[in-house]
């Protein structure tokens, strides 16, 4: 089974990047190419992505290529040089530092910077608006390290890249920790429940360790609200602590990017095998998928 077949049943599809340059934009471009002939495809982003130059590494980034008939939700300043290639369908009135988010229909294919709303509540509203334009595939490109939009999507793709660290062992270790947080169980009953409406951090768990010696259950809204290190999580669990969530983030597949913009390239076979040993989901190298599709 390939990635396209796994994703096809879903309408709203998000990408989650474990770090910058994890390969999210490559995944988005691949999905657009797969669905453009059979679906009405829409693309947006949680915040700014698809820049010409990465703001952190100062390296060129892959652009998002959109095709005739596609629907794009992005900020009006991102489109100022491409007026002849689209028609405006709607001004959403959602304000960003780059102007309001507008919804356009592509008249002629071009490369676009996608910068959508940064607030989850606005992204939720935007997805509703895109559905009104009969979009059968809505792609939500994530920002590095942000998971919050994932709860709004029917499913997500988790992108893992060598850019996280020059040491593959460190990437595997961090991925395993992230995978643990993404797969926490739904809230059940516990002897002592501590509900966190906002973010859960190391300091919160360390305080509970000292405050409560017996069994303790921490409840958070979803995995996106958890910012806990592996070391502290392990300590909390050893002290009879557990974390559960009210809502999970659905993930259908994992992608790897063994190439780092910092110069370190992992052995793609070994990297894929290591990630498969952590994640109980299909793992894909998008570049290999593209080669297989072209053959």
For residue 163, what pLDDT is reported? 85
The two structure tokens encoding residue 162: 């060598």
For residue 33, what pLDDT is reported? 94
Q: Which long-range contacts (CB under 8 A, 24 or more apart) does 200-203 make?
A: 200/225, 200/226, 200/227, 200/228, 200/243, 201/227, 201/228, 202/227, 202/228, 202/229, 202/232
pLDDT at 180 over 90: yes
CATH 2.70.98 fits 3-174+250-294, yes or no: no
pLDDT digits (tens, 9 = 90+) for 210-266: 988 888 899 999 999 999 999 999 999 999 999 999 999 999 999 999 988 777 789
- What does pLDDT average to over the chain? 88
Q: Are 69 and 136 in contact (CB under 8 A)?
A: no
Query: Does an H or E element contain 28, and which?
Result: helix 24-35
Average pLDDT estimate for 32-59: 77
Average pLDDT estimate for 270-286: 94
Q: Give whichever of 62-66, 126-130, 190-194 has the largest mean pLDDT.
A: 126-130
SS3 236: helix
Average pLDDT estimate for 198-219: 92
Average pLDDT estimate for 66-71: 95
For residue 73, what pLDDT is reported? 95
pLDDT digits (tens, 9 = 90+) for 81-120: 666 789 999 999 999 888 899 999 999 988 888 889 989 9
pLDDT digits (tens, 9 = 90+) for 120-155: 999 999 999 999 999 999 999 987 767 889 999 999
For residue 55, what pLDDT is reported? 54
For residue 56, what pLDDT is reported? 54
For residue 50, what pLDDT is reported? 44
For residue 260, what pLDDT is reported? 80
For residue 7, what pLDDT is reported? 95
Q: Assign 58 a pLDDT band (cuts: 50, 70, 90).
A: low
pLDDT at 295 over 50: no
For residue 187, what pLDDT is reported? 74
**Of 183, 150, 213, 129, which Cα lies nearest the Cα of 24?**
150
Domain map (residue ranges) of the chain: 3-174+250-294, 184-245
Distance from C-alpha of 254 to C-alpha of 240, rounded to nearest angstrom = 31
Q: Quick one: CA torsion of 166, 293, 133, 224, rounded to 10 degrees?
A: -30
pTM of the model: 0.90
pLDDT at 292 over 60: no
Q: Assign 166 a pLDDT band (cuts: 50, 70, 90).
A: confident
């Amino acid at each position: 089974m390939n990635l396209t077949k796994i994703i096809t049943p879903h309408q709203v599809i998000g990408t989650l990047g474990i770090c910058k340059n994890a390969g999210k934009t490559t995944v988005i471009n691949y999905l657009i190419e797969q669905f453009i002939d059979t679906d009405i495809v829409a693309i947006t982003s949680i915040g700014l992505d698809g820049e010409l130059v990465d703001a952190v590494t100062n390296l060129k980034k892959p652009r998002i290529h959109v095709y005739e008939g596609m629907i794009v939700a992005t900020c009006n300043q991102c489109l100022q040089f491409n007026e002849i290639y689209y028609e405006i369908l709607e001004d959403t009135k959602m304000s960003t530092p780059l102007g309001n988010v507008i919804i356009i229909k592509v008249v002629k294919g071009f490369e676009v910077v996608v910068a959508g709303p940064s607030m989850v509540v606005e992204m939720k509203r935007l997805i509703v608006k895109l559905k009104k334009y009969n979009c059968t595939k809505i792609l939500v490109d994530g920002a590095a390290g942000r998971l919050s939009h994932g709860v709004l999507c029917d499913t997500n793709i988790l992108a893992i890249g060598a850019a996280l660290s020059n040491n593959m062992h460190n990437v595997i270790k961090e991925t395993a920790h992230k995978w643990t947080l993404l797969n926490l169980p739904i809230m059940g009953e516990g002897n002592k429940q501590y509900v966190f409406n906002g973010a859960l951090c190391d300091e919160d768990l360390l305080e509970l360790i000292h405050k409560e010696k017996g069994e303790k259950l921490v409840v958070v809204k979803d995995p996106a609200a958890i910012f806990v290190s592996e070391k502290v999580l392990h300590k909390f669990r050893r002290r009879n602590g557990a974390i559960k969530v009210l809502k999970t983030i659905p993930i259908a597949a994992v992608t790897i990017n063994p190439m780092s913009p910092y110069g370190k390239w992992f052995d793609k076979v070994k990297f894929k095998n290591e990630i498969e040993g952590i994640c109980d989901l299909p793992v894909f190298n998008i570049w290999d998928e593209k080669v297989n599709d072209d053959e």
